[in-house]
Amino acid sequence: GDSVTQMEGPVTLSEEAFLTINCTYTATGYPSLFWYVQYPGEGLQLLLKATKADDKGSNKGFEATYRKETTSFHLEKGSVQVSDSAVYFCALSGDTGNQFYFGTGTSLTVIP
């Protein structure tokens, strides 16, 4: 069945460091891919998405490219800030639209 695997955390970075959070997926057909962010004490918010191969989703300085050849959707940011400290979830929606799968979440802490 469809699934998402993301790197385990926690991840701790210094401010202005480069961030990569790996996400790979298994799916039949042509899924849509998402990154959600959960700030402390809040619900999940959609950060970015990509609906087809080679699409790049971007928002708030974060980027992720839908790589069908490597079945990956890695999240990157060139220079993290303390305010980026949160839990990040990779997610997949099957091409039939009736299943949604979340990764296990990666906790990021950015220190000044």
Partner 1 sequence: DTAVSQTPKYLVTQMGNDKSIKCEQNLGHDTMYWYKQDSKKFLKIMFSYNNKELIINETVPNRFSPKSPDKAHLNLHINSLELGDSAVYFCASSQIQGAVGYTFGSGTRLTVV
Q: Which residues make up the interface to partner 1 (CB under 8 A)?
A: 32, 34, 36, 38, 42-46, 49, 87, 89, 91, 93-94, 97-100, 102, 104-105, 107
Q: Which is nearer to partner 1, 46 or 111 (CB)?
A: 46
> Left, alpha or beta for 29 (phi > 0: left; psi -120 to 50: alpha)?
left
Q: Which is nearer to partner 1, 57 or 77 (CB)?
A: 57
- Least Å distance between CB 92 and partner 1? 9
Beta bridge partners of 28: none
